[in-house]
Amino acid sequence: MNEQIKKQRRQNKKQEKRFSLFTKISIIVFLCCILLIAKIGFQLFGSISDTMLSDKGSSFSQVTHAKNVPKETSKRFESETDWQLILVNHSNPIPENYQVSLTKLRNNQSVDSRIYPALQDMFDDMREAGLMPVISSSYRTAQKQQSLLDEKITAYKKEGYSDNEAEKLARKWVAPPGTSEHQLGMAVDITSLDRNEQEPSVIWKWLLENSYKYGFILRYPEGKEDITGTIYEPWHFRYVGGQAAREIMERGICLEEYLE
């Protein structure tokens, strides 16, 4: 009888060891699964967060990549920290070998990735104010800029202007390649998503009063045509940074005057 009891106890101990080993293995597998799920969840949440940030105003989808602007004849700006204040106009071409990292927007427009957060915030607040803004033009390649200029020249020729007259008139509206801020990726043309429901002028009024809070300025204000060399464009806004934007707004000046 004693032998049977001892034998039974030995069998019970073996079973307990097997159960204990099985339990340990199960716990390890369970923990590994938890870690794997957590890792996948973290990656998924990260991508969802990016989408939510860009989708808040249902206009942007962030995809960052690098592009090089074609080589242009130009002068360099003094410091890399002054990137937001780089001056580009008919007398100041884009810096030689200028490079820009772009964020692609949902409507296939692109902007300098450094201005994207401020731009998103501005659009979010516009929508909260009941506005319906949309970016109609942003970053352009030199080829795109030349194409727009050629189209404008052709349009004037069809109206009966000579080649020289057509080009002169076209340059008042479209800057030649290398002299357009759109090639920087820091300028955006903003209008109404639906002109039948909301006039662009309503959006431009809000931007004129509030864009400086996000580091943007009306780049070509009315009455400054002789200084900027460009006609009044109520839709064209340029990122210059918070401090500069506020001072330009308070003083009622343009970027050329600010940089004097």
Residue 134 · residue 107 · CB < 8 Å: yes
Give phi and psi for 169, each to the nearest 5: -70, -40
Alpha-carbon distance of 81 to 152, in angstroms, equals 36
80 to each of 31, 73, 85, 115, how far by Cα in Å? 48, 19, 10, 15
Q: Is 233 an annotated catalytic residue? A: yes
Those residues with Cβ within 8 angstroms of residue 178's Cβ, 6 or more apart along the chain or in another chain: 72, 73, 74, 93, 94, 142, 145
Task: Tell me if residue 188 falls in helix, strand or coil.
Answer: strand
Query: Which residue from 209, 180, 170 is spatially nearest to 74, judged by alpha carbons?
Result: 180
Instruction: Enter the tokens of residue 245.
Output: 């934007």
Alpha-carbon distance of 172 to 80, in angstroms, equals 30
Q: Which residue has the tokens 């004129």?
A: 208
Among candidate residues 165, 225, 233, 247, the one labeled active-site is 233
139 to each of 13, 55, 124, 147, how far by Cα in Å? 75, 20, 21, 14
Alpha-carbon distance of 245 to 119, in angstroms, equals 14
Alpha-carbon distance of 88 to 1, in angstroms, equals 103
Q: Give catalytic residues, as residue numbers.
A: 233
